Amino acid sequence: FVFFFLMIRRPPRSTLFPYTTLFRSKQVQLSFLATFFILYLWPSWGRSSLRARLSRPARWIADILATSAFAQVGTLPIVGSTFGYLAPYGLVANLLLIPWTGLILWAGLFLLIISPFPWAPAIGKFLYRVVVSPYLYAVEGLAGLPGAALPVGENFGLWCLCCALGMLLLRAAQEELREGPSTGSSR
């Protein structure tokens, strides 16, 4: 909640912490929240009985889906508030696009290594045709599906923050009921 507060309010210019404008960067906010939520929610998923019952291939797919879901849950307020749209197919699309993006990155690294050679552009053109072009076609196809982008209101981020606070309060109440009421003092 502190990070959300820092993102919403205008940070003061400070000589003690000159990087306060960094918190205003949407890229930093999205990256921080996606990483935070993956790291925060992964231990629960890793210990879940559902994950333990899955076969190795199913667990691999479920892990990719869970990682994508955790990142999307974390970035939902910023994405909705900044762009005014949510992508409901994003979770399923990431099953296809995350491994494919890794392939593109490895192809780029390979091209970087062979770049001094005169035949490197021909290999680059081939890799673009075989790896990158179909990727872009798949992204365009997914973006063209009906309901691929759902509009949200301008106060969507605040609404998400209130929902997160409500879930936190419900979780605290659930733990209170499970453990019993506290005595309030330890005399």
Sketch the domain layout of the chain as residue ranges: 1-85, 90-144
Partners of 150 in the beta sheet?
A: 86
Tens of pLDDT, residues 3-46: 555 555 555 555 555 555 566 677 888 888 889 999 988 988 99
Instruction: Answer whether 86's CB lies under 8 Å from 79's CB.
Output: yes
Q: DSSP letter for 48, please.
A: -
Q: What is the pLDDT of residue 147?
A: 85
Residues forming a β-bridge with 86:
150
Q: Are the CB atoms for 74 and 34 separated by under 8 Å?
A: yes
The listed range with the strongest mean pLDDT (28-37, 45-54, 106-115, 168-177) is: 106-115
pTM of the model: 0.64
The pLDDT value recorded for residue 65 is 86
**Cβ atoms 127, 111 nearer than 8 A:** yes
Q: What is the rounded average pLDDT for all residues in the chain?
A: 82
> Residue 30 is encoded by which pair of tokens?
């999205």
Residue 157 to residue 155: CA distance in whole angstroms: 6
pLDDT score recorded for residue 187? 47
Q: What is the pLDDT of residue 19?
A: 54
